[in-house]
Structure 1
Amino acid sequence: MSDAAGGRITSFAAAENGLPPKMEDSGTGQGMETIKDVIFGSVAGMIGKMIEYPFDTVKVRLQSQPDYLSPRYTGPVDCFRQSIHAEGLRGLYRGISAPLVGAAIETSSLFFSYRIAQDVFKATLRPPTQGVPLPFSALVACGAASGAFTSLLLTPIELVKCQMQVPLSTSLLRRTGPFKIIASIIRHHGIFGLWHGQLGTLIRETGGSAAWFGSYEGVSALFRKHDTRSAASPSANLESKPPLPIYQQLLAGATAGVSYNFVFYPADTIKSRMQTEGVEPGSNVRRTFWASGKALWRQQGIKGMYRGCGITVVRAAPSSAFIFAIYEGLRNWWGRGP
């Protein structure tokens, strides 16, 4: 994301060129950067969600299997097979409307708040300077702050998504859309009921976003270190250094996706169980994060905490790779102009 005057250099593109984001000189510049964060982040997030959504549906179904029954699915492949047999391929995309909105909000919010967090760090840790990169630890902290902010926007969307993803045979919501689900939640639990599972989302997004941005920045820095094009002209202006090749951007993005999903996966599992517990007919269960976690640990141990993790990591790699590549591509295209 860009903090440079003129709006061309993003935090990642700047990192590829050896530059940190620069402080904006005007409110107009900041406003334009916000618009670009929202538009480009939304496009990248929605495309990434289309790629990963069937795998996410399988993950939620594996995570939300009841404690008191034998597992309905033996694994991801069996879940895919049963789901397609019962509902067809369309069933794996059931409830995608809310996640598409959520992906647009999440990704644009992550990029926007990551840029703002870097501005704050530069303003508080030292006087703003041109061409001096933030330390890696500060970038990781900015990623964590970005995730914490985004979690507040994401929890209601994920609550609706999870309730629409549970199997048809166990849900009264099979003939309802997201708006009816929202109305039902508010009617039974009030407006704050939409934030059921917030602690799980906060833990996942704070730690996961730190790993997401940190991994991307770290892998990109490693590629730049061995970039013969940059080494061949060490005296060149940093802004004129060539960006990383697309395959290296994809690899860095894929690494980020794997890191994001694996490190704090148990928090996501507990959150998904919390957000699907009240879906059964006549059920009004609303357990806390810690109560849900303890119940899962007693019943299934560490294996239950990581149920569905494999398929999540598999779908996260290409999705995250395309998110970063599309976002950076749009940024570079905008910067070149007509």
Structure 2
Amino acid sequence: MSDFIAGYVSGALSILIGSPLDIIKSRLQASSSRGATYNFPSVSSYLRGTTPPLLTYGALNSILFATYNRTLPLLPDTLTGIWIAGAAGGLTSFILSAPTEVVKTRAQVTGAGSWEVTRGLWRRYGPHGLYLGGTITAARDAIGYGWYFAAYEGVRRYWEEEQRDQAGVILFAGGVAGVATWASIYPLDVVKTRVQTQLFPETWGETRGLLGGAGKRTSWHGGLGAGECAKMLYREAGYRGFFDGMGVCMARAFLVNAVQWAIYEYIMRALKAPACLGAREEFTEVA
């Protein structure tokens, strides 16, 4: 329960803090035009697409940290072992992160409401629609969360043990963890966004939409897979296209994850629960 509460609260606040930059990142990734700017005409526009993450982040973090905490004792007490445990947690959390990402990115790019996007995908494609781009999302989460936990613990281990719980160290380690995570998976995230935000054809034939190109039907929804999206993106913008919006993402990653880890560690200590990192012998106490 401690992990659930700390993960939910820290995650919800980080989503609200990072929402405007996340919207810009998604639109830059999905757009065929370069150098575009995006305005936020109302308060609600700053929060576009945040409803799914806010509702699911507690459960997602619960799965993530529970898997991580129970995998870590089975592995060597090294950064490699931490990376593998984090990857296992990320792969498991994909169950919730995939539908959350589909709804969030489509809401951010199209301007539609989260529930409108969810109902539309479900009515037209059933549960399959909520797992559009599921394979690449799973790969992204496994790799990203591996680096997330390894980078955080690696930075904290740089300091002496009595300094590791200082606020400045936690903030810095959290920020570095966020940057390391996104740097390791950014091209995958760009392709994922392109897969998830494409428009689908009503009939067999060409698929045109936010991808800025065309392709023939290759799967149940008539859309393009990750491989096709990657090839199209390369033809459109070269290697540079796989890094659209990366500057915005790095700024958001450091800010959001510094805050998230600081809040998480504070709540865990307030609840008198052991931190999930560095508490291998006590992991069973984190309920």
Q: What band does the TM-score fall into relative to the shorter chain?
A: 0.7 to 0.9
Contact 1:98-1:178 within 8 A present in 2 as well: yes
Contact 1:277-1:285 within 8 A present in 2 as well: no
Equivalent of residue 178 in structure 1, options 107, 114, 121:
114
1:39-70 CA distance string (max 9 Å, x none): 1111111111111111000001001113xxxx
SS at structure 2 position matched to 1:42? helix
1:158 equivalent in structure 2: 101
SS at structure 2 position matched to 1:190? helix
Task: Tell me how far 1:321 sits from its aligned partner.
Answer: 1.0
1:254 equivalent in structure 2: 175
1:196-218 CA distance string (max 9 Å, x none): 11122112111111111000010
How many angstroms apart in 2 are the aligned matches of 1:243 and 1:181? 43
Matched, 1:197 2:133: yes
Contact 2:147-2:180 within 8 A present in 1 as well: yes
SS at structure 2 position matched to 1:335? coil
Q: Cα–Cα, structure 1 residues 223 and 58, in superposed 2: closer, same or farther, change >3 Å?
A: same
Matched, 1:332 2:269: yes
1:13-43 CA distance string (max 9 Å, x none): xxxxxxxxxxxxxxxxxxxxxx111111111
Matched, 1:321 2:258: yes
Amino acid in structure 2 at the alignment position of 1:153: L
Task: Tell me how far 1:98 sits from its aligned partner.
Answer: 1.4
Question: Structure 2 regions of 5+ residues with no counterpart?
Answer: 209-220, 274-287
Task: Tell me how far 1:113 sits from its aligned partner.
Answer: 1.7
2:284 equivalent in structure 1: none
How many angstroms apart in 2 are the aligned matches of 1:253 and 1:296? 32
How many angstroms apart in 2 are the aligned matches of 1:328 and 1:92? 27
Contact 1:162-1:275 within 8 A present in 2 as well: yes
Task: Tell me how far 1:97 sits from its aligned partner.
Answer: 1.1
Amino acid in structure 2 at the alignment position of 1:41: G
1:108-166 CA distance string (max 9 Å, x none): 332222112114x15xx7xxxxxxxx122111110111111112210101111111111
Contact 1:163-1:275 within 8 A present in 2 as well: yes
Contact 1:270-1:292 within 8 A present in 2 as well: yes
How many angstroms apart in 1 are the aligned matches of 2:42 and 2:263? 30
Matched, 1:135 2:72: no
1:113 equivalent in structure 2: 67
Calculate the TM-score normalised by the size of structure 2.
0.83
1:47 equivalent in structure 2: 13
After TM superposition, the structure 1 = structure 2 runs for residues 173-252 of structure 1, keeping only pairs within 5 Å, are 174=112, 177-224=113-160, 230=162, 244-252=165-173
Contact 2:201-2:223 within 8 A present in 1 as well: no
How many angstroms apart in 2 are the aligned matches of 1:200 and 1:216? 24
Contact 1:95-1:165 within 8 A present in 2 as well: yes
Task: Tell me how far 1:243 sits from its aligned partner.
Answer: 5.0
Deviates more, 1:274-283 or 1:49-58: 274-283
Q: Cα–Cα, structure 1 residues 253 and 280, in superposed 2: closer, same or farther, change >3 Å?
A: farther
After TM superposition, the structure 1 = structure 2 runs for residues 29-68 of structure 1, keeping only pairs within 5 Å, are 35-66=1-32
CA RMSD of aligned residues (A): 2.2
Contact 2:233-2:242 within 8 A present in 1 as well: yes
Q: Cα–Cα, structure 1 residues 167 and 178, in superposed 2: closer, same or farther, change >3 Å?
A: closer
How many angstroms apart in 1 are the aligned matches of 2:237 and 2:135? 21
Task: Tell me how far 1:297 sits from its aligned partner.
Answer: 1.1
Amino acid in structure 2 at the alignment position of 1:194: L
Contact 1:296-1:305 within 8 A present in 2 as well: yes
After TM superposition, the structure 1 = structure 2 runs for residues 138-149 of structure 1, keeping only pairs within 5 Å, are 138-149=81-92
SS at structure 2 position matched to 1:95? coil
Calculate the TM-score normalised by the size of structure 1.
0.71
How many angstroms apart in 2 are the aligned matches of 1:286 and 1:58? 24
Deviates more, 1:159-168 or 1:203-212: 159-168
Contact 2:10-2:261 within 8 A present in 1 as well: yes
Q: Cα–Cα, structure 1 residues 166 and 274, in superposed 2: closer, same or farther, change >3 Å?
A: same
How many angstroms apart in 2 are the aligned matches of 1:216 and 1:279? 40
Task: Tell me how far 1:189 sits from its aligned partner.
Answer: 1.7
How many angstroms apart in 2 are the aligned matches of 1:279 and 1:105? 30
Q: Cα–Cα, structure 1 residues 107 and 137, in superposed 2: closer, same or farther, change >3 Å?
A: same
How many angstroms apart in 2 are the aligned matches of 1:279 and 1:46? 31
Equivalent of residue 228 in structure 2, options 291, 303, 307:
291
Q: Cα–Cα, structure 1 residues 309 and 103, in superposed 2: closer, same or farther, change >3 Å?
A: farther
Q: Cα–Cα, structure 1 residues 213 and 93, in superposed 2: closer, same or farther, change >3 Å?
A: same
2:285 equivalent in structure 1: none
Equivalent of residue 198 in structure 2, options 239, 256, 277:
277
Matched, 1:104 2:40: no
Q: Cα–Cα, structure 1 residues 243 and 50, in superposed 2: closer, same or farther, change >3 Å?
A: same
Matched, 1:267 2:168: no
